[in-house]
Structure 1
Amino acid sequence: MSPEENQRLTAEDRREQILAAASVVFGERGYAGGTTDAIAKQAGVSQAYVVRMFGGKENLFREAAQRASARVREAFRVTIASFTGEETLHEKRLALSMSYVGLMADRGLLMTLLHLFSLGHDPALGPLARSCFLEVYRVTRDEAQMDAQDATDFFARGMLTTVLLAMRMTDIPDDPSAQELMACTFGDRTTDLISLMQGQQPIDSTLR
């Protein structure tokens, strides 16, 4: 029995541990730069264990991307479940946006999704990118009861949010233009968001 298998974690717990590590590595290095070796080191397990569990890098990236997309859907559904039916469209958008921003403070999830979307040309991963995006769109449109135009407008603002977080616009809070842009995008959550993003640590230099 390997050291990984001998530790007191269920197979599902170990799987989640590796997928979380994959999000960190793929998030910073992208699909091309991420390796099963770096992911294994980040997870604290052997590379052989990672390969045995996931079967290779492509499948591991696929599952990490699906996990990230599922986390967004779950966050939206939790928020939607709290709706009373009396909310205005603006209030629905604001509540969903806040749940998204809170989730995307996990930079690994944020960047894994962006890397997935950039692979739209890839024969294997392109269909997954489109499927993941449309699944979240349908949750927003149907379960939050928005029409197509309202859902599209929500996603347009959401993509601006995603890009600002990805480029770490929060790193220059003293720049007047950056401050203005973030205030218009994030509103009262700007200060909290800056604190969240500044607490993020880059991947360990030994894994680069």
Structure 2
Amino acid sequence: MVQHDDGRRTADERRESILRAAAQVFGRRGYAGATTDQVARAAGISQPYVVRLFGSKEALFLAVLDQAKTELLAAFRAAIAEDRASDSPAEHLFVVLGDRYVDLARERGVHLSLLQGFVQGAEPVIGAAAREGYLEIWRFLREEAGFDVDRARDFLGRGMLLSVLLAVDLPVLDATSPEAHELLVAACGPKLPLVLDAAS
């Protein structure tokens, strides 16, 4: 994105900054606990500008959910393209996509925003968007990744486990709790150092 000569951010850069900040704020505080003022402060932008750009907290949250889903699917599609180019066995794709999902822990807002969206399932607008997003991920796993029902279910289950572990901040217990370490290793495998680094 291009910045103006005087250092001001473009409208696209401000929008991206707001979405990144909102992903962190909603991920940490949940939909009900987050405010557009908190998002604005995190983005270094005025609260009226956030509302002017997105219209409401709900619309901002929906934009964050859509961006998180888009980032997730883009990472998965890139992984599929790389994996298929390498002529790896079909079983290898499960591991490759799992690694990409763990890699997204660097962008904690992705995991936590999706999880917060799923928690809002009873909300008419957010719940509908979250359900459709989840089904889109399911369709991706079945149609584009070529997973059978059992493999797709296992993949989503492991992904939800990692998202929940991040949501409850389990990585902070890694050094002091053998059970926490064991569970984190089970969820992250050799990518655990990346998750611990992202959580610190």
TM-score (norm 1): 0.85
Task: Name the residue aligned to 1:91.
Answer: 92
Matched residues in 1 for 2:62 and 2:119: separation?
Answer: 13
Aligned residue for 1:61?
61
Aligned-residue offset at 1:7 = 5.7
Rounded to whole Å, the distance in 2 between the matches of 1:89 and 1:163 is 28
CA distance in 1 between partners of 2:49 and 2:31 (Å): 20
User: By how many angstroms is 1:109 displaced?
Assistant: 2.2
1:46 to 1:7, Cα distance in 2 relative to 1, 3 A: farther
Percent sequence identity is: 41
Contact 2:30 2:116 in 1 (8 A): yes
Residue-pair matches, total: 193
Q: Does 1:138 align with 2:130?
A: no
Unpaired segments ≥5 residues, structure 2: 1-5
More off after superposition, 82-91 vs 46-55: 82-91
Distance of 2:195 and 2:53 partners within structure 1: 35
Cα distance in 1 for partners of 2:120, 2:141 equals 23
What amino acid is aligned across from residue 160 of structure 1 in structure 2? L
Given the superposition, is the C-alpha separation of residues 185 and 36 from structure 1 closer, same or farther in structure 2, using an over 3 Å criterion?
A: closer
User: Could you say if the C-alpha distance between residues 7 and 61 of structure 1 is closer, same or farther in structure 2, counting changes exceeding 3 Å?
Assistant: farther
Q: How far, CA to CA, are the matches of 2:167 and 2:89 in structure 1?
A: 29
**Pick aligned residue for 2:184 from 182, 185, 188:** 182
Give the alignment's Cα RMSD to 1 decimal: 1.7
Whole-angstrom CA distance in 2 between matches of 1:95 and 1:66: 23
Q: Which runs of 5+ in 1 are unaligned?
A: 1-5, 199-208
Shift of 1:106: 2.0
Provide the TM-score with structure 2 as the length reference: 0.89
User: What pairs with 1:1-208 in structure 2 (closer than 5 Å)?
Assistant: 8-84=8-84, 86-174=87-175, 175-198=177-200
